A = this chain, B = another copy of it.
Amino acid sequence: MNDNVVPLHRGETPREPSLAPMLGLTASAMNAVNAVILDKMQSEIPLIPALAGHLISGGGKRMRPMLTLAGAELVGYHGTRHHKLAAAVEFIHTATLLHDDVVDGSETRRGRQTANIVFGNPATVLVGDFLFSRSFELMVEDGSLKVLKILSSASAIIAQGEVDQLTAQREIETSEDRYLHIIGAKTAALFAAASRIAAVVAERDEAEERALDDYGRNLGIAFQLVDDAIDYDSDAASMGKDQGDDFREGKMTLPVILAYARGNEEERRFWRDAIAGFRTEDSDLAHAVNLIRGHDALNATRERARHYAERAIAALSIFPDGKARAAMTEAALFAVSRGY
C-alpha cells in the first residue's frame, strides 16, 4: 500500500489509483484508432504486417494514443481527426521500440520475444523505418502543418534523446540532471506531443495547448522514473519488462545515480565496475538491488515521480472538472503507484 490514494468524494471507499477510468474514457475511440493502426500497417510485403503486428498486438498499453484521445475528451472535441493522429503517434512509438530493441539487443518485451529475435535485426530496423514513414503519411492525410510540426519536432528530440542515452551508457558519472534531460527527450517529448495535438485538432488556444503539453511531459517523466525503478524492483517481475536489463546494459537510471551518490567507497567501486560491464551475474544484480534498497533509492525515485505526477495534475487545473479531467488525474497517480 502506498499513499497515492485517489481523491475521494463523500461516501466513497479509498482505493488504489487505476488506469481504468482513462481506459473507459477512451475505449470507444481506441477501437477506431486500432482499426486505423491495423489498416495502415498493411503492405504488399507480408513481412511488414507480420513483424509490426508481433509488437503492436503484443499487449502494449497504448499509453500515448490514449493521451491524445483523453485530451480530446478533456477539451470537448467531437470530430474524428484525432483517431488518425493517435495512430500516427503509436506508429512513432512502435518504430522507436523496434529500433530500441535492436540497439539494446533486447530479447524479451512485455513477456514475449522481441521482433529482433523472431525476425532478425535487419527486418526490424526496416519495418521501424516503414512505420515511421507511415506515421508521417497519416499526419499528411490529416493535413495540419501544426500537428506535423509538433510531431516531427518530437521525433527529432526522441532520436537525440536515444543517442544521448547511448552516450551516457556505462558512464557512472552521469548526473541526475543529465538523466532527467535524457528521459525528457526519449520519453516525455512524445507524451507531451501526443497530448498537445488534442488541443490542436480541437482548435483551442495556446494556453490549453501548453497545459496539455505540460500534462503529457510531466506524466512521461513520472512514467519513465517508475519504469526505471521497476527494473530494480523484484516484486514487479510480472510487469513483463526484462528485470535487470538496465543493469546489464550499464544504463544510468535514477535508482543507480542515487545509490551511487549515497554509497560508501566500496559501494561506489562496485557501481563503477558494474556500470562499466564487469559485473553482470545474477548475484551482482541481487547485490545492486540490495544497495539500491539500502539507500532507499527506489522510494526516492518514486518520490521524484510523484513530484512530476503532481505537476501533470496541476497543469490540468485550467480545464473544467469532469470525467476526463478526473480520469487524467488518476492516470497520473497510477503512473506513480503502479508496480508497487
Contacts and interface: CB of A to CB of B under 8 A. Distances in A.
B132 A132 contact: yes
Interface stretch (A29-37, A144-152, A295-303, A330-338): A144-152
Contacts of A80: none
A148 B140 contact: yes
Interface string A120-144: 0111011101101110110110010
A127 B48 CA distance: 23
Interface stretch (A17-25, A161-169, A251-259, A312-320): A161-169
Contact of A160 (B103, B130, B143): B130
Contact of A129 (B43, B47, B122, B159): B159
Contacts of A133: 152, 155-156, 158-159
Contact of A125 (B102, B149, B156, B160): B102
Contacts of A163: 43, 45, 47-48, 123, 126-127, 130
A304 to B, nearest CB: 23
B136 A152 contact: yes
A61 to B, nearest CB: 23
A162 B125 CA distance: 10
Q: Which of A95, A127, A133, A145 counts the most chain B CB atoms within 10 A? A: A133
B48 A160 contact: yes
Nearest to A181: B44
Interface residues of A, number: 42
A99 interface: yes
A160 B44 contact: yes
A137 B160 contact: no
Contacts of A95: 129
Nearest to A182: B45
A157 to B, nearest CB: 8
Contacts of A104: 122
Contacts of A143: 145
A238 interface: no
Contacts of A159: 126-127, 129-130, 132-133
Contacts of A43: 160, 163
A153 interface: yes
Interface of A: 43-45, 47-48, 95-96, 99, 102-104, 121-123, 125-127, 129-130, 132-134, 136-137, 139-140, 143, 145, 148-149, 152-153, 155-156, 158-160, 162-164, 166-167
Given A103-B126, A140-B149, 16 more contacts: A45-B167, A47-B163, A99-B129, A103-B122, A104-B122, A126-B159, A126-B162, A126-B166, A127-B163, A129-B158, A132-B159, A133-B152, A133-B159, A137-B149, A140-B148, A143-B145
6 contacts: A45-B163, A47-B163, A102-B122, A133-B159, A137-B156, A139-B152
